[in-house]
Structure 1
Amino acid sequence: MSVLRIRGFALPEGEPVDLYADGDRWTSDPVPGAELVAEGWILPGLVDAHTHPGAEAPGDPLDDGILRSDLRAHLESGVTLIRSPGLADDPPDWFGHGDQSPRAFHAGPWIAQHGQFMPGWGRRPDPAELPAVAAEQAARTGWAKIVIDWKPDDQVIPVALLREAVTRVHAAGGRLAVHTQHTAGGAVAVEAGVDTIEHGMGLDPQLLPPMAERGIALTPTLAAISSSLATILADPERARRSWAVPGASVHAALTAAAVEAGVTVLAGTDSRPHGAIGGEIRALVAAGVPAHDAIAAASWTARSYLGLPGLADGAPADAVVYDADPRTDLTQFDKPRAVVLRGKRVL
């Protein structure tokens, strides 16, 4: 099998590189006879840090065919690494492996309180058992996901209980993501010291500096929330009654402020269709996030946060190649020239 080779200008620095795939690792040492498969602007493989592939609609069971299709859509968009903070069920063994699936981290099924979250999805342990359930999940897959608030009048998980879950997840060697879309939930998440806040709508901006200090990342799923807001505002009566409008209306500004405050912001698409990471990058830029930082949230920063290096000797052989510098032409994310996963060209 011939060795794959790419060359061009590598982000984040924009310096010229010439890389060879030594199996599933990059090397800059020339390999005679290597096949040059693409030239252009090179990024470490993109990351979708909040995606739920494998089910057509909320509450549906995990479907193998839908899962394969969703993962292919991710690959075609340049995404070679996903994090699924919540799945309809435990995925099959091939998930996250081989040429047809991006590398993957997942948190198994969501963990929620009784009477909350999507019917048919997730686990709802008794409150006293919640920390143990989260720790067991994290021990198996490295991540657990807790829905700490849902509807506006629902009870938020008590901070002492969430702090115990954090402690036990960390003791198991894992990390804890939490779903929150209300101000009270965001406050509890930061106080408890979770690892990532998913969505974060309604988050008090005064909590951004403590988040940065404690290494709590934010995955704002901005494009999905902005799209939902536009749909709500199109119906004045619905907009008048919607609890989501106040938080969603300032979510873009909150996201830009998080980047400015030094919070690690991760790009995640959340909803269907899959393969829309370019839309999330553009939503970040539209919110006022510098293009370099918006792309970082979907590439080198996200990879680093999840424990994978970028385009360096010995790093996993993942990359996406574009015809032009995507920092100055965000439409490049809609048309990768080449996608490399595990040292093989998959697009």
Structure 2
Amino acid sequence: MIHLTGTVLHGDGVASDAWIDGGTITYTRPVGADRAHTIRGVAMPGLVDVHCHIGLGADIVVERSEALAQAATVLATGVTLVRDLGVPADMTWIDAESNVPHIIHCGTHIARQKRYIRGVSRDIEPAELPDVIVEEARRGNGWVKLVGDWIERSKGADADLEPLWPREILIDAVQAAHEAGAKVAVHTFATETIDDLLEAGVDDIEHGTGMTPDQMQEVAARGILVTPTANQVATFAAIAEQAGAKYPVYARRMMGMYENRVEHMAAMADAGISLLMGSDSGSTLSHGTFPSELQACVDAGIPASAVIAAASWEGRRRLGFSALEEGSAADVVVYSDDPRSDMSVLDSPLAIIRDGRLVSEATD
């Protein structure tokens, strides 16, 4: 048994004490509480990284040993729940491991030929999308990942971000996914893609760097989730530099979004969008960077209170998971102070608990 004391932030409010017994949490002192292991600090539901690629690395699909190391690194940051937004391999084997977060699998990214990172996506023709999205949905745990736009290099110097899917096909595909019991998350940078996503009724927009103020208002009104991925957007300057003279139109757009990133993310929060937090770790960004992602979102103008809520109790609930309500599974991270007032504590959790099991505890 574990006794949490100090401050316990949970989906229904705040408590001063809680006990973990048999893998679940209770706010009523149980029999045998005097023998419990006590952890003092600010406890909250384990963090949720909704955009993470465990099993993906510089060489695309990594060996099992490296995937386990990635997962352990993520868990060590207090992340007990991951939505793995696309890996071109069956990663369900990792669910049997203990020193890993809970993982929501999303199958493989769906894209078109030469319109995404080579080797990462399942590349198809537009007409195939409704059938393929159902196939990938069946491989996942209720989510599927689409690439909504990417550079169209065939246009040479005029190349720019362009939507991948005709609107009517996208509408049919999203409907098919929903009928199969899956929600749809879409990678998008471009303004031109957003209206199609709204028409199609997607559930989650990843990055969303091209959204206009009017589109933000509509996204908020429809309750569509958005993951800002501040660390990924911070790489846009390097992407623009790499595009350089070969793709000047694309380079200007990426640099413009980079330069406007702070105002843009603050505007998302001001619009009342339901935010999620995601590191986009895997391949180009390292695993274990979730704390820096949260700090980057705060630095970009999203209030710390909104960032921490989205990374913990609100984010978990938005994905359909418990948030330390009475009798729910005990996924917990404990800090020395409230991260809403001191973000630095995110770098050094006092304790991490997964399914009621103490995974790690700091020692003096």
TM-score (norm 2): 0.87
Partner of 2:276: 266
Give per-residue Cα distances to partners, 1:165-215, cap 9 Å, x unaligned.
111111111100111111112222122110111111212221112111212
Query: Counterpart of 1:344 in structure 2: which amino acid?
Result: R
| Other-structure match for 2:110 | 111
Partner of 1:53: 54
Per the alignment, residue 65 of structure 1 pairs with: 65
How big is each residue's C-alpha offset from its partner over 1:213-256, in whole Å with a ceiling of 9 and x where there is no partner? 21211111112212x14546889967x94241112222332222
Which segments of structure 1 move beyond 6 Å, counting only runs of 4 or more?
Answer: 233-238
Aligned to 1:327: 340
**1:80 equivalenced with 2:80 (yes/no):** yes
Relative distance call for 1:109 and 1:127 in structure 2 (3 A) is same
Distance 1:300 1:26 in 2: 14
| Partners of 2:239 and 2:97 in 1: CA distance | 41
Mean Cα displacement is larger for which, 116-125 or 11-20?
11-20
Can you list the C-alpha shifts for 1:282-306, whole angstroms capped at 9, x where unaligned? 1111111111101112111110111
- The alpha-carbon distance between structure 1 residues 232 and 119, as it changes in their structure 2 partners (threshold 3 A), is closer
Q: Distance in 1 between matches of 2:89 and 2:51?
A: 16
Equivalent in the alignment of 1:6: 4
| Aligned match of 2:157 | none
5+ residue gaps, structure 1, are none
TM-superposed deviation, 1:35: 2.5
Evaluate the alpha carbon distance shift between residue 155 and residue 289 of structure 1 in structure 2; reply closer, same or farther with a 3 A threshold.
closer
Per residue, is there more strand in 1 or in 2?
A: 2
Task: Give the CA deviation at 1:23.
Answer: 2.5
Q: CA RMSD in A?
A: 2.3
Give, in whole Å, the separation in 1 of the partners of 2:89 and 2:121. 8
Number of aligned positions between the proteins: 342
1:43 corresponds in structure 2 to 44
Segment drifting more, 149-158 vs 259-268? 149-158
Query: Is the CA contact (8 Å cut-off) linking 1:23 and 1:343 kept in structure 2?
Result: yes
Distance of 2:75 and 2:39 partners within structure 1:
16
CA–CA distance in structure 2, aligned partners of residues 50 and 247 of structure 1: 20
Match in the other structure for 1:25? 24
| C-alpha distance in 2 between matches for 1:253 and 1:35 | 48
Distance 1:235 1:93 in 2: 37
- 1:65-119: CA deviation from partner (whole Å, max 9, x where unpaired): 1111111111110000001111131204233x55311111121111111221111
Gaps of 5+ in 2: 152-159
Letter in 1 for 2:45: P
Task: Give the alignment of 1:1-347 within 5 angstroms.
Answer: 3-11=1-9, 15-31=14-30, 32-33=32-33, 34-57=35-58, 60-95=60-95, 97-141=96-140, 142-151=142-151, 152-226=160-234, 228-229=235-236, 231=238, 241=248, 242=251, 243-271=253-281, 272-347=285-360
The two structures have a TM-score, normalised by structure 1, of 0.91
